[in-house]
Amino acid sequence: MSALIDIQNVSKIYASADDSTAWALQDVSVQLHKGEFVCAIGPSGCGKTTLLNIIGGFTQPTEGKALQDGEPITAPGPDRGVVFQEYALFSWLTSRENIEFSLRVKGVPKKERRERAEHYLDLIGLRRAADRYPGELSGGMRQRVAVARALINEPEILLMDEPFAAVDAMTRATLQEELLRLWQTLGLSILFITHNIEEAAFLASRIIIMSPHPGRIKDIVSVDLPYPRDRGSPEFAAVYGRVDRAFHT
């Protein structure tokens, strides 16, 4: 059986205007499987966003292959839902209209669009904010809308680039719990990028630890702790310690 996402010996070199080149990724190989919650963690500039952009189809590898179900990824597609750190919602559309947007582009009839959007508004607990504009929502609410907007296409994988980095700690903890609930009830596959070891230890079934200059995979840690995880438990501290050591050595 082929992996859901198969990254084979991928390198990415960016050419700059001043003729210098940046090795954003060097010889990265990793597979993501259906149903996994994989976190990628590493210091700034280690190529996390570049890796996500390659899987998203927004950019192509310089060398190597990026495959989805054995087929090369050549462009963005609704089967890979993306949630970014910054609130990439359309400011002139309401929550409901943002969530429906891709269905409208695909020509899905209004009644079906509405029903599907209602379903996802319920899942993220924002039915009451359906007719509000992004400017009228809190940061946490906006990220919930962004998640619903990605999920409405029923993607094979959800790609999330530091999605909760800009919200306060309490909201962040709530969003993490909600995302785990969605992951479990909908059977999602998720690649989640973060700077935060605790966040990775709380969420991930597997943690990819990256290092910079050039961006490479340093280590991959499987996390066998059951969900929901107790941040205060010795088992959690042990996972944290393992990742922290891999991160800093």
Ligand X SMILES: Nc1ncnc2c1ncn2[C@@H]1O[C@H](COP(=O)(O)OP(=O)(O)OP(=O)(O)O)[C@@H](O)[C@H]1O
Binding-site ranges for ligand X (CB under 6 A): 14, 16, 22, 24, 42, 44-50, 215
Q: How far is the CB of 59 from Mg ion (least distance, A)?
A: 13
- 11 contacts Mg ion (rule: CB under 5 A): no
Q: How far is the CB of 161 from Mg ion (least distance, A)?
A: 6
Q: How far is the CB of 200 from ligand X (least distance, A)?
A: 13
Strand 63-68 and strand 190-194: the pairing is: unpaired
141 or 167: whose CB is closer to ligand X? 167
List the single partner that 185 binds among Mg ion, ligand X, none, CB under 5 to 8 Å by kind: none
Q: How far is the CB of 163 from ligand X (least distance, A)?
A: 12
- 49 contacts Mg ion (rule: CB under 5 A): yes
List the single partner that 45 binds among Mg ion, ligand X, none, CB under 5 to 8 Å by kind: ligand X
Q: How far is the CB of 20 from ligand X (least distance, A)?
A: 9
Give the x-and-dash track for 189-208 against Mg ion (CB under 5 A).
Answer: --------------------
49 or 189: whose CB is closer to Mg ion? 49
Residues 205, 36 contacting (CB under 8 angstroms)? yes
CB atoms within 10 A of CB 150: 23
Cis ω for the linkage preceding 163 (within 30 of 0)? no
151 or 163: whose CB is closer to ligand X? 163
16 or 249: whose CB is closer to ligand X? 16
CB atoms within 10 A of CB 26: 19
Q: How far is the CB of 143 from ligand X (least distance, A)?
A: 17
List the single partner that 149 binds among Mg ion, ligand X, none, CB under 5 to 8 Å by kind: none
Residues that bind Mg ion in the complex, under the rule CB under 5 A: 48-49
